[in-house]
Amino acid sequence: MPPCRLGLKIFCIVMALGAAGASRAAGDAARGKPLAYTCLGCHGIEDYKNVYPTYSVPRLVGQQPDYIVAALKEYKSSDRSHGTMHAQAATLSDQDMEDIAAYMAGTPLKSIGSVIGTPPAKVAQLCVACHNKDGVAASGEYPSLSGQHADYLARTLEEYKRGDRKNAVMATFVTQLTATDIRQIADYYAQQKPALQTLERRSSLFSAKN
Ligand code: HEC
Ligand code: HEC
C-alpha cells in the first residue's frame, strides 16, 4: 500500500474508517419510538433553539442511523461537550441508541446527483470524499449535511476547531478553514437537497400544529 500523504490522505482516512465501521445490526424503530419521546421535546419542534449560546437544534430525519449512534456515544463519553445531550445519552444502552436512531432517522437521504449553487472551492478540495458535493453522506459513518440548519453546521465546525468536539478526522480538516470558509460552507450545505428534516412531534398541548 502506498504511504498516506498528500492527495492520498483523504483516501486513506476513508479506507480506515470504512474498515472500522463495517457491519452493525439495524435498530428496531418500533422499540425506539417510545424511547425517543423526550428527545422530541427539542428535536421534534421545527426551528427549536439551544440557549446560551443560541443556535438551532439539529435535524435528524434522513440522517444516517449509524452516525446518530456514534454521535450519541460521543455525548455519553463527553468526546462532544454538551451538558444536555450528555445527560440525555448517559442512561441509554447501545441497543437503545440503535433503536432510537432507526426511529428518528427514518429513511436515510439518497443523493439525487445535482447541487444548488456553486460549491465553495474548499468543499471540492476537502469535504466531498465523505460528505459529497450535495452534502449527502458518502456512507453510514458520516453525517449528511444537506438541509441541516446553517447555524448548527457553523457551530459544529467551530467546535471541532476548538476541540470541544474531539474527532480526529474532522480535526484535520477544520484547521484549513477560516471563519469566512465556515460561514460559506455552512450556508452552501444548508441549502442543498434532498434536505434533512425535523421529526414533528404529534399531539402536543404546546404545539400549534396538531
Ligand atoms: C433540551 C433539548 C434536547 C433534548 C431533550 C435532546 N436533544 Fe439532542 N441535541 C440538542 C442540541 C442543542 C444538540 C446540538 C449539540 C451540539 O452542539 O453538539 C443536539 C444534538 C443531538 C445529536 C447530534 C446530531 C448531529 O447532527 O450530530 C443527536 C444524534 C441527538 N441530539 C439525539 C438526541 C436524542 C436521541 C435525544 C433523546 C434521548 C435527544 N437528542 C434529546 C438538544 C436536545
Ligand atoms: C474522511 C471523511 C471526512 C471528510 C473528508 C470530512 N468530514 Fe466532516 N465528518 C466526518 C465524520 C466521521 C464526522 C462525524 C465526526 C463526529 O463523530 O463528531 C463529520 C462531521 C462533520 C460535521 C458535523 C455534522 C453534524 O451533524 O454534527 C460537519 C458540519 C462536517 N463534518 C463538515 C465537513 C466539512 C465542511 C469538510 C471539509 C472541510 C469535512 N466535513 C470533511 C468525516 C469527514
pLDDT at 24: 52
User: Looking at ligand 1, which residue's alpha carbon is closest to its atom 41?
Assistant: 39
Q: Are 99 and 31 in contact (CB under 8 A)?
A: yes
Write the CB contacts of 49 (distance below 8 Å, at least 6 apart in sequence): 55, 56, 57
Residue ranges making up the domain that contains 87: 28-190
Flag whether 125 is in a domain.
Answer: yes
- pLDDT value, residue 87: 97
CATH code of the domain covering residue 154:
1.10.760.10
In a domain, 4, yes or no: no
Q: Which residue has the cell 427539542?
A: 42
Residue 25: the pLDDT is 62
Residue 33 lies in a domain: yes
pLDDT at position 95 is 97
Res 13: pLDDT: 52
> For the chain, where are the alpha helices, taking DSSP H only?
8-20, 29-35, 40-43, 65-77, 83-90, 94-105, 121-122, 128-131, 150-162, 168-174, 179-190
| Domain annotation covers residue 14 | no
Alpha-carbon gap, residue 85 to 70, rounded angstroms: 13
Q: Which three cell numbers stand for residue 108?
A: 436515510
- The answer as to whether 200 is a domain residue is no
Q: Which residues contact 40 (CB under 8 A, 6 or more apart)?
A: 199, 201
Closest to 85 (Cα-Cα) out of 109, 105, 60: 60
Domain contains 204: no
Q: What count of residues does the chain have?
A: 210
How many domains does the chain fold into? 1
pLDDT tens series, the chain, 210 aa: 344 444 555 554 555 544 444 445 689 999 999 999 999 999 999 999 999 899 999 999 999 999 999 999 999 999 999 999 999 999 999 999 999 999 999 999 999 999 999 999 999 999 999 999 999 999 999 999 999 999 999 999 999 999 999 999 999 999 999 999 999 999 999 999 999 999 987 654 444 443
In a domain, 50, yes or no: yes
Tell me, yes or no, whether 69 lies in a domain.
yes
Report yes or no: 144 and 63 within 8 Å, Cβ to Cβ. yes
Q: Which residues line ligand 1 (CB under 6 A)?
A: 36, 38-39, 41-43, 50, 57-58, 60, 68, 71-72, 80, 82, 84-85, 88, 100, 143, 155
